[in-house]
């Protein structure tokens, strides 16, 4: 069994469905899983093997669709502190002007 500090090398794109023991999918939100938007409205999540075990133990049915390797976010997708600070200041100035008018 892996240590809690170890990060999994892969997660899975999965959908969660009512199971024989648990028919109410609203309870999935209580498990604090990463949700993925789904155009068909199904409960789609990004999960580890341990998350799958928790879902199954909670009475849900889990369908795995694809492995998703865990890797660092590409640098071009990460905003620099200066850019974020400038964006935030611009937004806050807009709020101050609207509130002061």
pLDDT digits (tens, 9 = 90+) for 38-82: 889 899 999 999 999 999 999 999 999 999 999 887 888 888 999
Angle (CA) 66-71-77 rounded to 5° is 105
Q: Is the entire prediction scored with pTM above 0.85?
A: no
Q: Token pair of 54, please?
A: 């928790």
Query: CA 96 from chain center: how many Å?
Result: 33
Sign of CA dihedral 32, 1, 56, 17: positive
Q: How many CB atoms lie within 10 A of CB 81?
A: 7
Nearest of 59, 63, 75 to residue 19 by alpha carbon: 59
**pLDDT, position 4:** 52
Residue 94's pLDDT band, with cuts at 50, 70 and 90, is confident
């Amino acid at each position: 069994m892996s240590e809690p500090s170890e990060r999994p090398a892969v997660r899975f794109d999965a959908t969660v469905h009512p199971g024989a023991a648990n028919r109410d999918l609203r309870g999935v939100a209580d498990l604090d899983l990463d949700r993925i938007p789904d155009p068909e409205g199904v409960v789609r999540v990004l999960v580890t093997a341990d998350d799958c075990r928790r879902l199954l133990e909670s009475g849900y049915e889990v369908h795995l669709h694809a492995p998703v390797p865990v890797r660092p976010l590409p640098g071009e997708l990460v905003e620099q502190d200066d850019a974020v600070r400038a964006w935030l200041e611009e937004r806050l100035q807009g709020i101050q002007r609207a509130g002061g008018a």
